[in-house]
């Protein structure tokens, strides 16, 4: 028989702050059962944010007396997930009995629903919130939404952009609440699967990115010298790392292109931090190499490979994500020759690499066409910060550096 809360040293297991702007996390696994002994700093629960899978630990050892958290449910930072029975010495050290007891729960009056019941009902109806993103989310896509429509959309976790497929019957083609309800009823006739927290986060980030004027410049880049250089190396860097290092050098040489527009000021970063896209389950994660302009290519290979493994396992620490000015993405691994990828909301630039193809190139010395390996490189950019000329010169410099890989 378990001791009562009055007689036992019960330490609440609290959902921790898992990142600078993480507001909630979803329980995906409980590592222990009620009654098990748990050691200090052991992962008691595995939780998932829209950035990574992390562990919830306890500050001391003890007996797990209760797990109130439910696998698959999201809990806010500070929520109580269960209780751990600890020793008298640990209870005293942690000040367990210093805090005043929680106020008694008030019973709802007859005919009125309790706030607890209302919040539980709302939790089931509202889609998971998107937290942990560097810029506040803003809905866009509709010119006018009535207060009633906004309330209904908030209840459903919808954005104005989600109404793109709804034909409005109101004045001026506005979408009415009846149009929305008919649209939702029609959706229920289709096969529906829940969106993961990462998919919701990616969707929100791309929605916010698209509020800026974005443009793309394209340049074919010959890769034969780069590939020959890579073949000679004992520790081989991937083409994306070559491009990352080249972009970092180019940005350090052209600091005006490495900026972010905030209001009427361009903010230039203290260091050239470059992210690179890694495909993970149901989404993309962007690890960041800090101070990429300061380290030669050979010194970045081990760090790059480690971050790729952590990203694929969704174990990236917060210090290795966010805060970069640009990202590299190698969509050529999918056989794509060209694409126009979208920079993240907090980034100004995104360098994309297409698949290499053998193409004929005119050799003026031999006066004939010779086969070369060529790939299309694209640079997508925030047109508020850069114009086409500056973006073009930056991309030209990246291509020049890739043609001289020994300088990387």
Same domain, 253 and 356: yes
Q: Are residues 33 and 88 in the same domain?
A: yes
SS3 179: helix
| pLDDT tops 60 at residue 105 | no
For residues 343 and 209, is the Cβ–Cβ distance under 8 A? yes
Least confident range from 19-28, 236-245, 324-333: namely 19-28
Q: Please check whether residues 219 and 206 belong to one and the same domain.
A: no
Q: Name the pairing type of β-strands 80-85 and 288-289.
A: unpaired
Query: What is the spatial distance between Cα 314 and Cα 320, in angstroms, rounded to a whole number?
Result: 12
Q: What is the pLDDT of residue 272?
A: 94
How much helix, strand and coil, in percent to the nearest 5, is found in the chain? 30, 25, 45
Q: Kindly report which listed range (59-68, 73-82, 130-139) carries the lowest average pLDDT score.
A: 130-139
Q: Which is higher by pLDDT, 187 or 273? A: 273
State the helix-helix crossing angle for 147-156 and 177-187, rounded to 10 degrees. 20
Is-contact 288 273, C-beta < 8 A? yes
pLDDT at 281: 76
> Between the CA of residue 218 and those of 253, 293, 353, 391, what are the distances in Å?
20, 23, 10, 10
Identify whether residues 70 and 132 lie together within a single domain.
no
Counting the structural domains of the chain, the total is 3
Verify that 384 and 306 share a domain, yes or no.
yes
CB 346 within 8 A of CB 134: yes
0.75 surpassed by pTM: no
pLDDT for the residue 115: 46
Q: Is residue 200 predicted with pLDDT exceeding 80?
A: no
Cβ 236 vs Cβ 167: under 8 Å: no
Phi, psi of 100 (to 5 degrees): -70, 150
Specify whether 381 is located in the same domain as 318.
Answer: yes
Q: pLDDT tens for residues 209-231?
A: 888 899 999 999 999 999 999 99
Q: Which of 183, 211, 239 marks a domain boundary?
A: 211
* 302 shares its domain with 402: yes
Which among 178, 211, 244 is the end of a domain? 211
Would you say residue 408 has pLDDT above 50?
Answer: yes
Residue 164 CA to residue 141 CA, distance in Å, equals 7
């Amino acid at each position: 028989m378990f001791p009562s809360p009055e007689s036992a040293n019960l330490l609440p297991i609290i959902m921790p702050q898992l990142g600078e702007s993480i507001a909630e996390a979803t329980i995906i696994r409980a590592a222990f059962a009620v009654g098990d002994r748990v050691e200090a700093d052991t992962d008691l629960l595995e939780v998932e944010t829209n950035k990574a899978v992390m562990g919830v630990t306890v500050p001391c050892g003890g007996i797990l007396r209760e797990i109130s958290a439910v696998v698959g449910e999201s809990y806010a930072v500070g929520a109580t997930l269960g209780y751990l029975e600890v020793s008298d010495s640990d209870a005293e050290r942690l000040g367990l009995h210093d805090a005043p007891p929680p106020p008694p729960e008030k019973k709802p009056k007859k005919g009125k629903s309790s706030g607890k019941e209302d919040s539980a009902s709302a939790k089931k109806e509202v889609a998971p919130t998107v937290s942990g993103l560097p810029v506040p989310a803003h809905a866009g896509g509709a010119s006018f939404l009535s207060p009633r429509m906004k309330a209904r959309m908030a209840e459903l976790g919808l954005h104005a952009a989600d109404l793109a497929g709804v034909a409005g019957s109101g004045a001026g083609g506005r979408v009415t609440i009846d149009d929305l309800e008919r649209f939702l009823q029609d959706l229920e006739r289709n096969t529906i699967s829940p969106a993961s927290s990462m998919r919701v986060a990616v969707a929100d980030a791309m929605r916010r990115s698209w509020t800026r004027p974005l443009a793309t410049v394209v340049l074919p880049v010959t890769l034969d010298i780069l590939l020959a250089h890579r073949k000679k190396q004992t520790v081989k860097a991937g083409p994306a790392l070559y491009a990352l290092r080249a972009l970092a050098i180019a940005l350090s040489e052209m600091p005006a292109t490495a900026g972010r527009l905030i209001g009427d000021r361009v903010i230039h970063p203290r260091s050239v931090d470059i992210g690179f896209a890694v495909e993970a389950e149901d989404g993309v994660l962007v690890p960041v190499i800090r101070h990429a302009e300061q380290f030669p290519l050979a010194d970045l290979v081990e760090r790059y490979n480690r971050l790729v493994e952590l990203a694929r396992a969704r174990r990236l620490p917060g210090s290795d994500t966010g805060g970069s000015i640009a990202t590299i993405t190698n969509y050529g691994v999918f056989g794509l020759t060209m694409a126009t990828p979208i920079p993240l909301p907090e980034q100004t630039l995104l360098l994309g690499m297409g698949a290499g193809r053998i193409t004929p190139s005119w050799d003026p010395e031999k006066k004939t066409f010779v086969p070369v390996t060529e790939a299309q490189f694209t640079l997508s950019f925030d047109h508020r910060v850069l114009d086409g000329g500056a973006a073009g010169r930056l991309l030209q410099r990246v291509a020049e550096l890739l043609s001289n890989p020994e300088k990387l």
